Amino acid sequence: MDNKEFERLKNIYSQLIELVSTAKESDIMDEKLDCFFKMFQIVRACLEFSPYTHFYTQVLIDIIVKTYNTKVFRSDLLFKSDIGCFIENPEYSPNEFFEELEENEYNINLIMHEFTQKIEKISKKTHKKYMDFFETIRDLLIKDFMEKKSDLKERLELISKYSQNSTVKNLSTNERLYLYEAKRVFDIHYINTKPAHALFLDTKFKTKYICNNELSLQEKRLDVEDVVNLIKEKHIMAEEVYELANAEEQIRFELFKIIQNNFTINKCENCGKLFIPVTTSKNKNQKGRNDQKYCNNLYLDTGKTCREIGALNKRKEKVQKSPILKEFQREYKRMHGLHYNHTKEFSEKKFKEWSKKAHKLKDTYTDEQVQEFKTKLNELSNIYWK
């Protein structure tokens, strides 16, 4: 992600500031509600930008809403969300009272309540003061996000390096976790409990179970076989999900999963992005074979993926190196051009016939015999076009 991308996020956040303060400063309930729903569209746009924005967007909205509701610059909320940053302006320093105050857990009803809560009329001067503060917060959040992104990238680069190594690949999951901890890629913060040495994950990943669907009370009372059938029919299952409290935890979680699953990470030779090579049925049987050099992302505005560009480059390189292929390609282009411009005299059928014979001819010569090949190919072409 480059700076231009972050500029885009900055724009989205500016819109968000505009929208939430409009809602707070309006005394018309319908307008407030309208903004509330628009806000979710913006939140979604942020998530599409990057799943990591989740925590930052939440904090930004929280700070705007609570600053209006409490008439205090609520920078304490930054620190409560574990976003470590330096606030230059002393006016924006966290308020002592609110610093001590424990915040309610974030939920939709509460956001709705605080979002629509009535406030005293805001003067133009206060509005300007608030806007400056929100913009400062916006920039601090984006700065933290950029730092976390580059920190994650550094750690992934290390994993990328180690994950290519077959001895590392063959370690057990627990050995591998220890290795990465030792290499400072992943802070597991292991605790040494004597006399037994133990490795503990110091993490607050909370596990929850969620259901995508439910059976009615009547359905639940059916015989077990019928219930099972219904579960199958409706594809109901309880899924294990993790609750992550902040971006740092999300990063840790993702690193943990990469190491746990023993993924190899490659660096694209075209665009330089890191990627996890896909195991296709073609290379599935060869364990540890992850020689994909190119990622599958669209490259700039070429409309082609790096993999496609890579294949083209490889082909070009091969042709460049081989006099026979070069000669063949030159003649092929010439003949195709003749066919294209004289479809009547040199029909599709004839061209294909020529092409088939020319391919065969090419395969019988080596690069050292390029002169003979040239003569023979010329003779062939002369039969079709004089």
Residues within the interface to Zn ion (CB under 5 A): 268, 270-271, 295, 306
Q: How far apart are CA 179 and CA 172, in angstroms?
A: 10
Q: Closest separation between CB of residue 305 and Zn ion, Å? A: 8
Exposure string (b/e) for 17-45, b if CB count within 10 Å is 16 or more? bebbbebbbeeeeeebeebbebbeebbeb
Nearer of residues 193 and 296 to Zn ion, judged by Cβ: 296
Asked whether the beta carbons of 62 and 17 are under 8 A apart, the reply is no
What's the closest the beta carbon of residue 278 comes to Zn ion, in angstroms? 13
C-alpha triplet 255, 283, 300: angle, nearest 5°: 60
Phi/psi region, residue 124 (left: phi>0; alpha: psi -120 to 50; beta: rest), is alpha
Burial profile 60-89: b = 16 or more Cβ within 10 angstroms, e = fewer: bbbbbbbbbeeeebbbbbbebbebeeebee
Name the CA dihedral angle for 193, 199, 200, 202, rounded to a multiple of 10 degrees.
100
Of 81 and 160, nearer to Zn ion (C-beta) is 160
**Encoded tokens for 180:** 């990465």
Q: Find the shortest distance in angstroms from Cβ 156 to Zn ion.
A: 15
Distance of closest approach, residue 356 Cβ to Zn ion, in angstroms = 36
Q: Which position has the token pair 């133009």?
A: 124
Nearest approach, Cβ of residue 272 and Zn ion (Å):
7
Nearer to Zn ion, 307 or 350 (CB): 307
Specify the residue, 304 or 326, whose C-beta has the smaller distance to Zn ion.
Answer: 304
Q: How far apart are CB 302 and Zn ion at their closest, in Å?
A: 11
Which residue, 188 or 306, is less far from Zn ion as judged by CB? 306
- Nearest approach in angstroms of CB 8 to Zn ion is 20
Q: Of 270 and 290, which has the nearer Cβ to Zn ion?
A: 270
Residues in the chain: 386
Q: Give the residue with the Cβ less far from Zn ion, 293 or 336.
A: 293
Residue with structure tokens 């099972």?
228
